[in-house]
Amino acid sequence: MSIQYKTINELSQMLKSRDISNKELIQETFNLIDANLHLNAFITLNKDASLLKAEELDKNLSLQPLSGIPIAQKDLFCTKDLRTTCGSNMLSNFIPPYSATVIENLENAGCVSVGKTNMDEFAMGSSNETSFYGNVQNPWGDKLVPGGSSGGSAAAVAAGIVPAASGTDTGGSIRQPASLCGISGLKPTYGRISRWGMIAFASSLDQAGPMARTAEDCALLLNQMCSHDLKDTTSLDETIPDFTENLDKPIKGLKIGLVKEFDLSQLDKEVVKVFEESKKQYETLGAEFIEISLPNISLSVPTYYVVAPAECSSNLSRFDGVKFGKRCDDPKDLEELYIKTRSEGFGDEVKRRILIGSYVLSAGFYDAYYKKAQQVRRLIKNDFDDAFKKVDVIMSPTTRGAAFEEGSKGDDPIQMYLEDLFTIPANLAGLPALSIPNGMVDGKPIGLQLIGNFLEENKLLRAAHNFQLSTDWHKKTPKGDIQS
- Report the nearest approach of other proteins to the CB of residue 464 (Å): 22
Q: Could you tell me the smallest distance in angstroms from the CB atom of residue 171 to other proteins?
A: 14
Establish if 362 lies at the interface with other proteins (CB under 8 A).
yes
- Which of 267, 379, 441, 469 lies at the binding interface for other proteins (CB under 8 A)? 379
Under the criterion CB under 8 A, does residue 151 sit at the interface with other proteins?
Answer: no
Contact assessment for residue 398 and residue 426, using Cβ atoms and an 8 Å cutoff: no
* Shortest separation between residue 34's beta carbon and other proteins, angstroms: 30
Catalytic residue among 126, 149, 150, 313: 149
Known catalytic residue at 280: no
From the number of C-beta atoms within 10 Å of its C-beta (0-12, 13-18, 19+), residue 107 rates as buried
**The binder of other proteins chosen from 23, 175, 327, 400 (CB under 8 A):** 327
CB-based contact 35:77 (threshold 8 Å): no
**∠6-209-74 over CA atoms, to 5°?**
75
Distance CA 43, CA 286 (A): 44
Residue closer to other proteins, measured from CB, 18 or 332 = 332
Torsion, Cα 208 144 422 401, to 10 degrees, reads -150
Any bridge partners for residue 437, and if so which?
447
Least distance from C-beta 179 to other proteins, angstroms? 23
State yes or no: is 149 an active-site residue. yes
Contact between 45 and other proteins (CB under 8 A)? Answer: no
Q: Which one of the listed residues 74, 116, 444, 459 is annotated catalytic? A: 74
Tell me the backbone φ, ψ of residue 169, rounded to 5 degrees: -140, 110
Neighbours of 239 (CB within 10 A): 7
Q: Within 432-471, which residues bind other proteins (CB under 8 A)?
A: none
Which region, judged by CB under 8 A, interacts with other proteins, from 1-9, 241-249, 376-384, 441-449? Answer: 376-384
**C-beta of 182 vs 347, nearer to other proteins:** 347
Write out the binding residues for other proteins, residues 188-227 only, by CB under 8 A: 190-191, 203-204
Q: How far is CA 30 from the centre of its chain?
A: 23
Q: Which of residues 83-122 bind other proteins (CB under 8 A)?
A: 94-95, 97
| Residue of 255, 372, 475, 476 interacting with other proteins (CB under 8 A) | 372
Nearer to other proteins by C-beta: 117 or 313? 313
The amino acid present at 50, given as its one-letter code, is: S
Please work out the total of residues on this chain that contact other proteins, with binding judged by CB under 8 A.
73
Residue 294 near other proteins by CB under 8 A: no
The residues near 227 (Cβ < 8 Å, ≥ 6 apart) are 101, 105, 193, 194, 235, 240
Helices (H) and strands (E) in the chain, counts: 15, 13
**Active-site residue set:** 74, 149, 173
